Structure 1
C-alpha cells in the first residue's frame, strides 16, 4: 500500500500541562491570526494538494459544493477553503475547511460521510462553524457513482482509507496558519459510512484525534452487504417464505406490543424481550393471505432472520457471516431482500469485483465468503481491528453508539464488534475464562472455540468466574472506548426512541459527553436523551430517557413517572 503523509499531526504539542488550564483555554474566543483568508492560497500543503478557493463569507448564504448545496442563514464571518488532494494519478479527493474569523473555541472537528460519499457536507460544516468549531469535510474521493469505482484503484483506495487522513493533514496547517496555533483538541464524528471512517481513524491513525464518535459503523462491508442483502434475497425468493407488507407490520407491531413500555411505546432492550415469532403462526380458520398470521414456513424463515443468533451462516461450517435483525421497527423495505439494482449489490460489484454486473445470484455461501474476504479491497475497506492500544496510549476516547432497532447495519454487528474489543482487552487468564461461557457468535469476531462445544458442566462451574472476567475486560475497555445503545432508534436516527442527542449535533448529549471525557476527564455513564416532537432539536419533549453504556441495560425503577429519565437506571 502507498505511504501517506502523517507528519503534520502538530496539534498535540500545544496542549497545556494542566487539564484545567486546557479546558479554560478551549472556551476563550480565538481571533484569526492571518491578515485575511485569501492569503491561505499560498500555504504549502502535503499530498499533491491544490487550493481552488479561499474566501471570507458571512450572512445569509447559498453554498454550492461538490455534490451538495446548502442554504445557511445568519452565518458569522468565516474563512472557507476549498481544495482537492490527489493521492494517486486517478484520485480526486475534494475537501473543505471552514474556520470562524473570530470566536474559535480551539477545537477542530472532522465530519464523516455517508453511503459511498460523493459530496461535501456543507450544511454540517455551517452548523459546526456557528458553534465556534473549525471544521472539515470531504467527498471520500468518490463521485457518488458506483460505476466510477470500477477498475479505478485510486478511487477505491481513496474511499477505503486515503481520503480522510488527507483531509486532516491539509486542515491542520491551514488552521495553524489562520489562527497562529493549531487545535487544542480534535474530534471526528460520523455515522454509518461515517462511522466506518471514524473507526478507521482510531485504528489506522491513532494520534490524529482526541475524541471520536462512531455511530452504527459500516465496518465490515464484505460481510454486511452479503448478509443483509444477498442472503435475505435468497431466503425470500422462495414464494413460500415471502412476506407481505402487512405481515412485516404484524411482526413489528406484535413484538413491540409484547416488549415495549406501555408509556413510551419503546422497547428498552431487546435482550430482555422474550417474544417469539411462533406466536404469529396461523391457526385453524386463518391463512397467511389475510396478513394477520404467518405460515409455518414463514415462521421458520423468520426464526433464521431475527436476533443475535439469526442471520446469514455458512451452511457448511455453521460459522456466522452476519447476524440477524431485531423485529421491532424499520423492517418495511428491508424484505423481501435485494434485487439486481440494489445499491449494496452494486457496492460489492464495483469495489470488490470491478463488475457492476457480477453474478450475485450464484453466490455460494459455503465457499465464496472466504474468497471475497481475501480480496485486497475487502481488506482495505474493513475496520474490524479490535486493537486500539495506540489510540488509548495517545489518550484518545472513542464513543460508539447504535440504535437497538437498526434495520440497515444490524445492531448485533456493532454489539458483537464491541464484545470483540472487550475480549481483546482481557488478560490471558480472564480471556480463557470468558471463552468458557462466551455466547457471542463467531463471524470472525471473538473466540475460536464455539461455546456449544464446551462441556456444559464445565461452563456452569465457571459461569460466575467467566462473568466476572468479562466485567473486568469491560472495565479495561471502558477506560478509552464505550458503546452506547439507543432504545427504539433505527439507523443513525428514526424510530420511536429518544434521539435528540443526534438532532442537536455538537451540542447533543452524546457529543458533549465525549467532549467532557476528553477535556475534563469525566468518563460518561448513563447519558440523558429526550424524544421530541418531530425528532427536532427544539421540539416539545414527549418523554425523556437514558442511553446506557453496553453491556448495561435500561431499566424502569418500578416507580415514578415512566416518561421521565429520573425513573430509569442503567444496570
Structure 2
C-alpha cells in the first residue's frame, strides 16, 4: 500500500466525520444508511470545488459477469466554483464482500454520462469477471457535464462554452475530484481505505488514464490505458482537415467503395505475417497504393473503383497532417490512420461514415467529423451557429490564439512518467492496429517519447505497450479481431506481487482463436501449426 502519505488528507478528513475509522474497524460490508445525503467537504478534494453531496443511495442486486452481486450504489454531485458551470455527477458501487480494492473507469468521446460501473476494462476478457464481480469498489463520473439526449451519445460538446467544464473534461480536473470524493465515500462505507486503487479507460478514457499517471502520479497504483486519444487537440485538427476533404464534391467514398478498399488492402497485406487469416499482423510491411483502384480517367464510374477525388481523400486519411504554425502544447502533427481503419463497411460510423460531411453535420457522417463540428461550435468559436466547414485548420486566422490555448488543455503529452514510476505505478497500454478513430501511430509516438525520456530499461520497469493486430476501436461492430485480454489480473500481479506480464495471450472473442500479445514494436508471425493457437506464432521484429 504505497499511498499512505497521499491519502492522508482524505483519511484525516474522513476520520473527523467517522470517529474511530481505522484498519481495526474495517469491514467488507458497506454501511449504506450512513451515506444518504452525506455532505462531501471541499477539503477532501485537492482541486477547487465548493464541496458535494450524496443525492441518492440504494442497495442493488445485479448479475455481473454471470455472478449475482449485491452492492450499494451511491450517486453524488460535486459542486463547481463557477456557479454557471455544471455539476460533476458521480457514482460509486460498493459491493458486499468488498475485496479492499477500488477501480475508477474513464469515459468516452465527449463523456456526459456516467460509465457503467459493472462493465469491464478496455479489451477485457469474456471468461473472467468484471471488476465489480471481483468485488472491487468501482466509481466514475460524467466528467463535469451532462449529455443532451437529443445529440448522439458521447457527441455533445455544448459544455465547451464554460471554462471550468472544459478543464474538468479536457484537462482531467474532474478525474481527481471524483477520485478524492469517491475515496471519502468508500472510507465512510467500509471504515477503511482501499489497499490498491486502479484506473481503466479507453479512447477518451485512455487519455484520462495517461492523464492521471502524468498529473497525479501517486493517485493510482496501476493504470490500464486503451487506444488513448492523448493528443486530443492534434487529432481534432486532423479530423477538421479530413472533414473538409471528404466534403468536397465527389470525394466521399460510399460504403461499397469502403468495402472495396478494405478487401483490397487485406488481399495485398494479409499474408505478410506468414498466414492468410484476414488479419494484417505486420502493418509496417503493408505498402498498399490506393491508386491501383483508380477508375478509368479518374471519374467515378461505379462501386468497383475509386475516383481521383476519392483516392485523394483516402490518401489524406492515411497521411500525417502537419499544420504550418505553432501551438503551445508543442505538437506539430497528427500521424494519420492505417489504410485498414474506417475502410471496412462493418464499422462505417467510426471511420468514414455512410454520408459525406455537410452543414448541418449529418449524424451518419463519420464520428470524427461530428466530433470536429461540436468542437468548432463550442470549444473554439463558442458559436453554435458557426459552420465548421468554413474553418480551415491549416489556416485558422483569428482563431489561432484560441487553438494554441486549447492545446495546453487537450494535449496531455507529458512523456516524463518517472514520478509515476518512482511512486511504484504500473501502466498497461493497448491499441488496435486497425483503429479507425484514434490512430495507433499516435500511441506508438507517445510510447517512444516515454522511452526517450525515461530510458528503455526503466520504461520496461513500469510500462508495457501492446498493439493488437486486426483490432479496431473498442471492438466496435464486427472487427477482424475482437480483442480480449485479462489485463486487470496482469496489472494486479504486477502491482501487488511484483510479477510483470510474461508472454501474455490475447483472445479473438469473435472467432475463437488466440494470438501472442507482443510488446511493441514486435508483431505475431506465424511459424506453423494450428493457425487458431497463439503457440503457433512468435513475436517478431
Normalised to the residue count of structure 2, the TM-score between the two structures is 0.79
| CA displacement at 1:512 relative to structure 2 | 2.2
Alpha carbons of structure 1 residues 114 and 59: separation in structure 2 relative to 1, 3 Å:
closer
Tell me which residue corresponds to 1:368. Answer: 396
Alignment of 1:19-418 (within 5 A): 31-32=27-28, 36-41=31-36, 42=38, 45=41, 46=44, 47=49, 48-58=51-61, 75-88=68-81, 89=83, 90-102=85-97, 104-122=98-116, 124=118, 127-145=130-148, 146=156, 148-160=158-170, 161-228=172-239, 230-239=240-249, 241-261=251-271, 263-282=276-295, 288-296=300-308, 298-306=310-318, 310-314=319-323, 321-331=333-343, 332-333=348-349, 334-335=351-352, 338-340=357-359, 341=361, 342-368=370-396, 371=400, 374-418=403-447
Alpha carbons of structure 1 residues 51 and 8: separation in structure 2 relative to 1, 3 Å:
farther
Is 1:531 aligned to residue 508 of structure 2? Answer: yes
Verify the 8 A CA contact 1:11 1:184 in the aligned structure 2: no
* In structure 2, distance between residues paired with 1:208 and 1:416: 25
Is 1:9 aligned to residue 18 of structure 2? Answer: no
**What secondary structure does 2:450 align onto?**
helix
Instruction: Out of 40-49 and 269-278, give the one that drifted further.
Output: 40-49
Please tell me the root mean square deviation across aligned C-alpha atoms, in Å.
3.1
Alpha carbons of structure 1 residues 374 and 295: separation in structure 2 relative to 1, 3 Å:
closer
Which of 496, 509, 530 lines up with 1:561 in the alignment?
A: 530
Alpha carbons of structure 1 residues 373 and 44: separation in structure 2 relative to 1, 3 Å:
closer
* In structure 1, distance between residues paired with 2:68 and 2:147: 28
**What secondary structure does 1:549 align onto?**
coil
* In structure 1, distance between residues paired with 2:304 and 2:241: 26
| CA displacement at 1:240 relative to structure 2 | 5.3
Higher relative contact order by CA 8 Å / sep ≥ 6: 1 or 2?
A: 2
* In structure 1, distance between residues paired with 2:262 and 2:406: 36
Verify the 8 A CA contact 1:486 1:497 in the aligned structure 2: no
**What secondary structure does 2:118 align onto?**
helix
Verify the 8 A CA contact 1:314 1:366 in the aligned structure 2: yes
Normalised to the residue count of structure 1, the TM-score between the two structures is 0.75
Alpha carbons of structure 1 residues 199 and 373: separation in structure 2 relative to 1, 3 Å:
farther
* In structure 2, distance between residues paired with 1:329 and 1:73: 33
**What secondary structure does 1:420 align onto?**
helix
Verify the 8 A CA contact 1:263 1:562 in the aligned structure 2: no
Alpha carbons of structure 1 residues 150 and 279: separation in structure 2 relative to 1, 3 Å:
closer
| CA displacement at 1:110 relative to structure 2 | 0.3
- How many correspondences in the alignment? 471
What residue ranges of structure 1 are gaps of 5+ in the alignment?
1-5, 14-29, 61-70, 426-472, 502-507, 534-540
1:35-86, Cα deviation, whole Å (9 max, x unpaired): x3111345754341111123333367xxxxxxxxxx9986433222211111
- Tell me which protein shows more helix as a share of its residues: 1
* In structure 1, distance between residues paired with 2:513 and 2:76: 44
